[in-house]
A and B are shown apart, each in its own frame.
Chain A
Amino acid sequence: DSGVTQTPKHLITATGQRVTLRCSPRSGDLSVYWYQQSLDQGLQFLIQYYNGEERAKGNILERFSAQQFPDLHSELNLSSLELGDSALYFCASSVGGEIGTGELFFGEGSRLTVL
């Protein structure tokens, strides 16, 4: 158990819909990362937040957005869903900032299926 909690574990929805994935980081971790893993692709970095602020952006589509709240949990919002958005979405957390030594701890993921 990494200490990172992701909900929901599974989600099935239709094209055009909007979903929200939630992540609770490990206690004390200030950084949250989101990754996408499709069947035929590796782990793709989407976005990073540190203590409520966006710190790094990867290949995140404009239809996707994220935020980190004052209690440090994070949400990834996916809208106008397409079949190709079906994937595993992982959240990771770490101590963060200048004092971090780089270890990320991943949750078990949210499996999104778009029909």
Chain B
Amino acid sequence: DAKTTQPPSMDCAEGRAANLPCNHSTISGNEYVYWYRQIHSQGPQYIIHGLKNNETNEMASLIITEDRKSSTLILPHATLRDTAVYYCIVRVAREYGNKLVFGAGTILRVKS
């Protein structure tokens, strides 16, 4: 699976959009970009994933650059409850023997 690079931490004002970047310059054509988050000591929570098109769901939007070498997770109106560690993971979708490998992630602090 391709390696990802994320900033160690970011701050965001409550109510503003939080934009979390992720670099994955060695991504392969069949690898998806997944985002998970972990709120303090809770189980990681799936947010969104995509292959090459931008994706949106009720939690967030995922913007993937045309060359697929980087992506941005957007939380449109961050709240204090969005304070968490956000993980960007790249891997093929097929699951046989293909676990999720978590890096250090980005600590997002939403401040009032």
A residues in contact (CB < 8 Å) with B: 2, 4, 31, 33, 35, 42-43, 45, 48, 50, 55-56, 58, 88, 90, 92, 94-98, 100-109, 111
Residue of A nearest to B34 (CB): A102
Which of B41, B96, B104 makes the CB contact (< 8 A) with A97?
B96
Q: Give the residues in chain B near A55, CB-CB below 8 Å.
A: 95-97
Cα A90 to Cα B43 in complex, Å, equals 7
- Chain B interface size band reads 20 to 34
Give the secondary structure class of B's interface: loop
Cα A101 to Cα B100 in complex, Å, equals 12
State whether A100 touches B45 (Cβ < 8 A): no
Q: Give the residues in chain A near B100, CB-CB below 8 Å.
A: 33, 45, 92, 102, 104
State whether B91 touches A88 (Cβ < 8 A): no
Could you tell me the distance in whole angstroms from the C-beta of B28 to the nearest C-beta in chain A?
A: 14
Could you tell me the distance in whole angstroms from the C-beta of A24 to the nearest C-beta in chain B?
A: 14
Interface string of B75-112 (1 = CB under 8 A from A): 00000000000000001111111111111110000000
